[in-house]
């Protein structure tokens, strides 16, 4: 043939389909091509997955893997389940992937929680949404939320509902909620509840609120108020029946003309 005149040697090679495009110039050389990918088309046994699963000792697919019937050849192969990686043929099987450790494997915007074979996204406290970058994401809580039940749309009503249903700590930041402060938080929350009463005569006065907080501080139950006695100043002296109550914080003075005055300390301007 015409080829024999310039290329008397014949050659052949195996390569993956569609990775090598033949041209007439290849008859005299492969244009410096030294390597080509090769895929071995293989399968286990000569039976389907349904039949193979009946033989527990010979079944090749291990933990957290699936059996796949092959199309080109008779038999089956094994593959790790979604959310798992490894070798499905080894005794240990496939291992769970922690998608939360790799930003490329999860679509969480804020909080990612790894689960067996999967992961979930959520939002931090005082945020709402599905927590997903490809979804609603996380949006800071608002005073009015129309996606909540009617009785919880207002932020104040949401607080009262949480208190009533004993889920107060679910709406507080983790840095505030500490095991040793549970009782104090409940007392302060109940005080705030009283301040949110609809009828003005049922709400505590500013003086009563100040006295309650001072009582908590004196009992060592209020963790947010500085106990430094050097910063404490008593503004009122001897009580009189008609005198006014004054609470001074830095340069601000608030007066309450109801009842007898009570000395209230200044603690860090709170």
Radius of gyration for the alpha carbons in the chain, expressed in angstroms and rounded: 37
Determine how many CB atoms are found less than 10 A away from the CB of residue 204. 14
Higher pLDDT, 106 or 238: 106
What is the reported pLDDT for 216? 73
**pLDDT of res. 29:** 62
d(CA 13, CA 36): 9
How far is residue 124's CA from residue 110's CA, in Å, rounded to a whole number? 7
Question: What number is the average pLDDT over the span 100-108?
Answer: 93
Query: Which has more confidence, 178 or 134?
Result: 134
pLDDT at residue 234 is higher than 60: no
- Which has more pLDDT, 221 or 47? 47
Residue 27 has pLDDT above 90, yes or no: no
CA distance 77 to 42: 8
Confidence of residue 138 (pLDDT cuts 50, 70, 90): confident
**Residue range 190-231, pLDDT digits in tens:** 888 888 776 777 888 888 888 888 887 776 644 444 444 444
pTM comes to: 0.42
Q: Residue 270 pLDDT more than 50?
A: no
Residue 8 predicted with pLDDT over 80: no
Rounded to an integer, the average pLDDT of 236-241 is 40
Q: What pLDDT does residue 157 have? A: 73
CB 160 within 8 A of CB 194: no
Count the Cβ atoms, other than its own, within 10 Å of residue 202: 8
Domain ranges of the chain: 98-141, 150-218
pLDDT of residue 248: 36
Length of the chain: 270
- Report pLDDT digits (tens) over 140-187: 765 545 566 655 556 677 777 777 777 776 666 666 666 556 777 778
């Amino acid at each position: 043939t015409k080829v024999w005149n310039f290329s008397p040697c014949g050659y052949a090679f195996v390569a993956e389909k569609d990775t090598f495009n033949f041209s007439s110039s290849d008859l005299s050389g492969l244009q410096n091509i030294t390597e080509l990918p090769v895929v071995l088309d293989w399968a286990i046994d000569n039976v389907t997955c349904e039949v193979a699963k009946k033989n527990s000792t010979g079944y090749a697919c291990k933990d957290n893997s699936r059996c796949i019937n092959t199309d080109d050849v008779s038999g089956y192969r094994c593959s790790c389940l979604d959310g798992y990686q490894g070798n499905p043929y080894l005794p240990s099987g496939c291992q769970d992937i922690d998608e939360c450790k790799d930003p490329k494997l999860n679509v969480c915007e804020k909080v990612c929680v790894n689960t067996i074979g999967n992961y979930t996204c959520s939002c931090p406290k005082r945020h709402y949404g599905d927590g997903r970058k490809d979804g609603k994401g996380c949006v800071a809580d608002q005073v009015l939320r129309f996606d909540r039940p009617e009785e919880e749309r207002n932020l104040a009503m949401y607080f009262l509902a949480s208190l009533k249903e004993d889920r107060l700590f679910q709406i507080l930041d983790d840095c505030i909620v500490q095991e040793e402060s549970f009782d104090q938080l409940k007392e302060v929350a109940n005080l705030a509840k009283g301040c949110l009463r609809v009828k003005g005569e049922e709400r505590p006065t500013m003086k009563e609120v100040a006295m309650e907080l001072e009582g908590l501080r004196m009992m060592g139950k209020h963790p947010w108020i500085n106990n430094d006695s050097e910063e404490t100043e008593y503004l009122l002296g001897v009580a009189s029946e008609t005198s006014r109550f004054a609470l001074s914080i830095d340069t601000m003075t608030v007066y309450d003309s109801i009842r007898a005055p009570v000395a209230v300390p200044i603690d860090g301007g709170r």
